[in-house]
Structure 1
């Protein structure tokens, strides 16, 4: 059984992502570990109040009470979607969110992390200075990020960006395994720029290697890589986009407001980020 970590602050964005997490858990035969992380205040040593421990215990208690109140609401959502059979367990941790996620991944042997993204433009806020952006660079398991406005729908088409590297092939096999569980097809995109070094023979070898799978390959010649990926997602009806990089600068560029503006609300597509081992 797959173990899925779901960090939540119980916001509307997180609650929306919880629906996606439930459905993903059903698809991969998984269980959800809910993580609520909070940070206690830091006092200057010169001004530590006499009731220092009382303050900390009070804050911890308030976080616990909120956690205790919110969990039944999430269970109710699972019941409404006929997914009450999905196993839910919980972690309440104080400290830095990214550190806590890394700790939970190690201690709970996590296979996937699913998080909601913030902001009116979904991906834009997500990749600009948010906690989730930091998670991208710090964890080594697949991360499924859910934009705030992304309404759940069954996955029928998975987009996969590639540069036809050997390590990309391993990632594609992982994506195909997910696609089979979802009864979905995979559409692979290679953006061939003026300085691309991938030859036709390599592309043909990939097509032959995956000829028996529900996979299509698309090669688009363009020096506008980011815009081409966005167009691909929109016009190929991609339900889930797989990105094979944790380089934050790339994500910041591809999902900035100037690019996503022309797609408006129709471009709220979840991203599955897969860490590539060198």
Structure 2
């Protein structure tokens, strides 16, 4: 089925078919640069009978190797209003204004509440750099409804799961800068009790 047949007519949408025989990532990078792409939207498959694969190889490569804001939509995701958006961070990295603009646009358009989430394996106080980064986020999102939440759990992905369930989170947003922290949340494969990776859209922000 062609895309034009799968979607109703809408003057705001235009579909183009591109054929490129270059390597996958190099091709995506080329089109992002040439066409000034602002956002990549990709879907991910749900559970298989043997193992639940959270992010396919192509999607995983794009969100880690292509510097373009990417919205990952799991196969089991259902369309809902974006009332609350979770923003996990360890406050170790400084996020520039340009990086956060796509998230700000969503907050303004949907009047969403931003839940800035810090997860640690044990209780501790933020160091000076972390505190400064936290204060910057507090100031940057000052005109938007936002709040800070601190959880302690040995497994980061379990803490995110509990937070998503307790708050009814509609989307998770994260900056792909601290790769280790990023991978713990999105690429964790032991998902017997983890469902947010197959149900909640994930907005990946790049610098």
The answer to whether TM tops 0.5 is: yes
> Post-superposition shift, 1:169?
5.7
Find out whether 1:71 has 2:11 as its counterpart: no
> Post-superposition shift, 1:247?
6.5
Within 2, Cα distance between the matches of 1:212 and 1:249?
Answer: 31
**Contact map agreement 1:192 1:222 (CA 8 A) in 2:** yes
> 1:57 is matched with which residue?
none
> Which one of 41, 65, 68 corresponds to residue 141 of structure 1?
68
TM, length-normalised to structure 1: 0.60
**Contact map agreement 2:91 2:131 (CA 8 A) in 1:** no
Within 2, Cα distance between the matches of 1:127 and 1:248?
Answer: 15
> Post-superposition shift, 1:131?
1.2
Find out whether 1:181 has 2:109 as its counterpart: yes
Structure 2: gaps of 5 or more residues: none
> Whose radius of gyration is greater, 1 or 2?
1
**Contact map agreement 1:162 1:168 (CA 8 A) in 2:** no
Find out whether 1:115 has 2:45 as its counterpart: no
Matched pairs, number: 199
> 1:125 is matched with which residue?
53
Q: For each residue in 1:209-243, what CA deviation from the matched residue of structure 2 results, as whole angstroms up to 9, or x when unmatched?
A: 54432111112233332221222222211111012
Higher RCO (CA 8 Å, separation ≥ 6 residues): 2
Find out whether 1:198 has 2:198 as its counterpart: no
> Post-superposition shift, 1:126?
4.1
Per the alignment, do residues 138 and 257 of structure 1 end up closer, same or farther by CA in structure 2, a change over 3 Å counting?
closer
Q: CA RMSD in A?
A: 3.0
Structure 1: gaps of 5 or more residues: 1-68
> Post-superposition shift, 1:84?
4.3
> 1:103 is matched with which residue?
30
Per the alignment, do residues 173 and 188 of structure 1 end up closer, same or farther by CA in structure 2, a change over 3 Å counting?
farther
> Post-superposition shift, 1:104?
0.8
**Which one has a larger percent helix, Structure 1 or Structure 2?**
1
